[in-house]
């Protein structure tokens, strides 16, 4: 029986499966374990099941001589120093594919919400501002028949593109790795981001990127917060250089309530809900536990980090 540390309670029955075979220590709070607590809990662990909010760096790994496997409950592993783990022969697992359709649903929900001004309408009802049906009040933009630029040609980007074409009759412009996005941006009514976070994509959406979009276009981000230069986005929104933005991810997470970005107009921000359905989160937990169980008996991980495809 191995000792495992799990950095948060998980939905479904996956942790019960893990506890049936190994000693399991679960961090009980809603917020991540602080770095010093994480180091302390992992120091004697053989298995670690972590989340994208947990920084698994070289220092943490060096302080965990018994650690044999890291299982990350996420579609990627940008929070894990995979190279340092590989040097020690520690496999790193992740949870791919299961959140594709769920995240694509949310991307489309954000697109519809920002274009049709749904949060403003809901607030107006509660504030008593709904006087009657008015022909010129809270007018938004059509999504059907519009042009969508999908930045990132991976699974989630493809799922969003399918919804756009089949369900809404949209013209979809796909921008893959290495493509110049500017021609697509210039034609877009909506721009949806679906690239992984890397040195090449960090700050991708900067002043120049936003300047290439028409002032009537909307930006949607369900990928990673650091892909967007938030200062540049706030300026573009305040100055009316784009019509609006809808974000499920920010940098940092959570975004402090007094963060300057939140004062920008025509902005929706969600608390990273891309995969937040019962079925998807429970399936992610199952995959994470499957990876951990395999690694603890020295079997290949079902979903090991190697060359992670684009989300």
Residue 77 confidence (pLDDT): 85
- How far apart CA 148 and CA 1 sit, in angstroms, is 52
**Segment 275-290 mean pLDDT:** 97
253 catalytically annotated? yes
Which pTM does this prediction carry?
A: 0.92
Average the pLDDT over 25-49 and give the result.
Answer: 97
* pLDDT tens readout for residues 64-101: 999 999 999 998 888 999 999 999 999 999 999 899 99
Average pLDDT over residues 107-116: 98
Averaged over 163-179, what is the pLDDT?
A: 97
* pLDDT score of 153: 85
pLDDT tens sequence across 250-269: 999 999 999 999 999 999 99
- Degrees, nearest 5: CA angle 34-42-24: 105
* Structure tokens belonging to residue 247: 């974000």
pLDDT of residue 310: 43
Instruction: Tell me the pLDDT band of 308, cut-offs 50, 70 and 90.
Output: very low
Q: Which of 224, 281, 283, 303 is catalytic?
A: 224
Q: What is the mean pLDDT of residues 22-48?
A: 97
Rounded mean pLDDT of the chain?
Answer: 96
Percent of the chain with pLDDT over 70: 98
Class in CATH terms, 3-98+278-296: alpha beta
**Alpha carbons 107 and 119: distance in angstroms, whole number:** 16
**Tell me, which fold does domain 100-269 have in CATH?**
Rossmann fold (3.40.50)
pLDDT tens digit sequence for 202-251: 999 999 999 999 999 999 999 999 999 999 999 999 999 999 999 999 99
Which of 9, 40, 87, 253 is catalytic? The answer is: 253
Provide the β-strand partners of residue 304: 93
- At residue 307, the pLDDT reads 41
Catalytic residue selected from 272, 281, 283, 303: 272
| Domain ranges for the chain | 3-98+278-296, 100-269
pLDDT in tens, 112-122: 999 999 999 99
CATH topology match: 3-98+278-296 vs 100-269: yes
Contact yes or no for 252/277 (Cβ under 8 A): no
- 58 part of the active site: no
- What's the pLDDT score for residue 51? 97
* Site of tokens 């996005």: 181
Active site residue 259: no
């Amino acid at each position: 029986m191995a000792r495992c540390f799990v950095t948060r309670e998980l939905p479904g029955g996956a942790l019960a499966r893990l506890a049936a075979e190994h000693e399991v220590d679960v961090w009980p709070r809603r917020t991540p374990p602080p770095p010093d607590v994480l180091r302390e809990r992992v120091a004697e662990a053989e298995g670690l099941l972590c989340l994208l909010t947990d920084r698994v760096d070289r220092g943490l790994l060096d302080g965990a001589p018994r650690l044999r496997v890291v299982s990350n409950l996420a579609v990627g592993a940008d929070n894990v120093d995979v190279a340092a783990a590989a040097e020690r022969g520690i496999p790193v697992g992740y949870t791919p594919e299961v959140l594709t359709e769920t995240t694509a649903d949310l991307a489309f929900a954000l697109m519809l919400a920002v274009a049709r001004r749904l949060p403003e309408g809901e607030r107006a009802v509660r504030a008593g501002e709904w006087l009657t049906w008015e022909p010129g009040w809270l007018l938004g933009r059509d999504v059907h028949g519009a042009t969508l630029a999908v930045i990132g040609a991976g699974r989630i980007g493809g799922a969003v593109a399918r919804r756009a074409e089949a369900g809404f009759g949209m013209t979809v412009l796909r921008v893959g790795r290495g493509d110049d996005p500017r021609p697509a941006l210039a034609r877009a009514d909506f721009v949806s981001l679906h690239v992984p976070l890397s040195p090449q994509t960090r700050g991708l959406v900067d002043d120049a990127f936003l300047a290439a979009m028409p002032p009537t276009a909307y930006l949607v981000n369900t990928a990673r917060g650091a892909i967007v230069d938030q200062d540049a986005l706030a300026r573009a929104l305040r100055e009316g250089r784009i019509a609006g933005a809808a974000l499920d991810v920010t940098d940092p997470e959570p975004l402090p309530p007094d963060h300057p970005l939140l004062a920008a107009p025509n902005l929706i921000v969600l608390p990273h809900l891309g995969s937040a359905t019962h079925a998807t989160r429970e399936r992610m937990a199952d995959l994470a536990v499957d990876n951990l169980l395999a690694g603890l008996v020295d079997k290949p991980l079902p979903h090991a980090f190697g060359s992670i495809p684009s989300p």
